Amino acid sequence: MGVRGGIAGVAAALLLTLGPGAAAAPAQRWDIRASGPPLPVTRCNVAQPTTAPAVPTDRRPACPGAAAGLRAAPDDADPDCEPVNRLFGGEIRRIPTEEPLVALTFNAAWNEDGLAVVLAELRRQHAPATFFLTGEFADGHPAAVRAIAAEHGVANHSYDHPELADLTPDDLRAQVLDTDRAIRRAAGAVPLPFYRFPFSDTTPDAIAEVNALGYADIEFTQDTKGYLGLDGGMTVDKAVQRAVDALRPGMILQMHLGTGADPGPNLDAQALPRIVEAIHARGYRITDLRALLDEPASGCSGA
Ligand SMILES: [Zn+2]
């Protein structure tokens, strides 16, 4: 079965896992490679928020990408059935599939060390990845964001990587929306409707706030911990081993661009060729997380 077929199964599994609204309705098809706009809250498979999110007017249309000719016109789309809604209601730490599929993700919050190596290696291996960017990174590294967005999905990782415990609900919404705008400015493209919490620190209420802004919470199965650097006791070998040890159907692997306090080599960039080769050698395929938004197994109830 091909990747697309596999993802159709994933979508079905997701629906079983997350979606109570399984009544058949016309499925909306979304060209996930063309756009991935955050959307206002909808009624499909997600509880209504108690307060209206502060969605900017430029995010109001059900299909913002339509203006650029990227998506179906709003009249043709049912905003209650956007595929991302199937991903709402909890954190996603793996793709619920039994097929040998895994997804690669990178976070970027510091500098762009390693980016050129990572992009070249992904290109060489024909491997897709999703990059979760902070708003600060987008504002500070617009050329890097454009380079990433030209080949891969870009998603939201908060504005300045705060501790969740320090945020009010208003603060959290501002973190999400300010980053949404920063990525649009930098990339000239709409970010994917995927949010990853800093430190992978989530609560049900915080996830509901993010969902209300149109973002699914995409966390990870395993982190290579290459970001800890040599000073943090990590090596390329250890980063590769952590990825290999966690290899299983649906694994979402988290790596990082840049380095934190340690100005040493970017271990994840160095480990990436061996990680990709190990994934392929074990019969796994690397899938694009954007495929989670494609080909819904069935529509939403709209109830
Ligand atoms: Zn982070």
User: pLDDT tens, 213-237?
Assistant: 999 999 999 999 999 888 889 999 9
- Ligand 1: distance of its center to the CA of 227 in Å? 10
- Ligand 1: distance of its center to the CA of 24 in Å? 38
- Ligand 1: distance of its center to the CA of 302 in Å? 34
Instruction: Please provide residue 254's backbone torsions phi and psi, each rounded to the nearest 5 degrees.
Output: -105, 130
Cβ count near 124 (within 10 Å): 10
Residue 55 is predicted with a pLDDT of: 42
Q: What is the largest CA-CA distance in the chain?
A: 55
- Ligand 1: distance of its center to the CA of 113 in Å? 15
Residue 290 is predicted with a pLDDT of: 87
Give the Cα separation of 192 and 84 in Å (integer). Answer: 10
Residue 62 is predicted with a pLDDT of: 30
Percentage of the chain surpassing pLDDT 90? 59
- Ligand 1: distance of its center to the CA of 5 in Å? 32
**Residue 287: DSSP 8-state:** -
The pLDDT confidence band at residue 112, using thresholds 50, 70 and 90, is: confident
In DSSP notation, 225-265 reads: -GGGTGGGT--HHHHHHHHHHT--TTBEEEEESS-SS--S-
Residue 80 is predicted with a pLDDT of: 52
> Which residue's entry shows tokens 């909808």?
42
- Ligand 1: distance of its center to the CA of 187 in Å? 20
| 46-93 confidence digits (pLDDT tens) | 222 333 333 433 332 233 332 222 223 333 445 555 788 889 999 999
- Ligand 1: distance of its center to the CA of 68 in Å? 31
- Ligand 1: distance of its center to the CA of 87 in Å? 21
Q: How would you classify residue 258: left for phi > 0, otherwise alpha for psi between -120 and 50, otherwise beta? A: left
Compute the Cα dihedral for 156, 198, 133, 138 and give only its sign: positive
Structural domain boundaries in the chain: 3-47+65-293
Percentage of the chain surpassing pLDDT 70? 69
Residue ranges near ligand 1 (ion) with Cβ within 5 Å:
107, 198
Average pLDDT, the chain: 77
Reduced to 3 states (helix: H, G, I; strand: E, B; else coil), residue 194 is: strand
For the whole prediction, is pTM greater than 0.85?
A: no
Residue 262 is predicted with a pLDDT of: 59
- Say which CATH architecture domain 3-47+65-293 belongs to: Alpha-Beta Barrel (3.20)
The pLDDT confidence band at residue 16, using thresholds 50, 70 and 90, is: very low
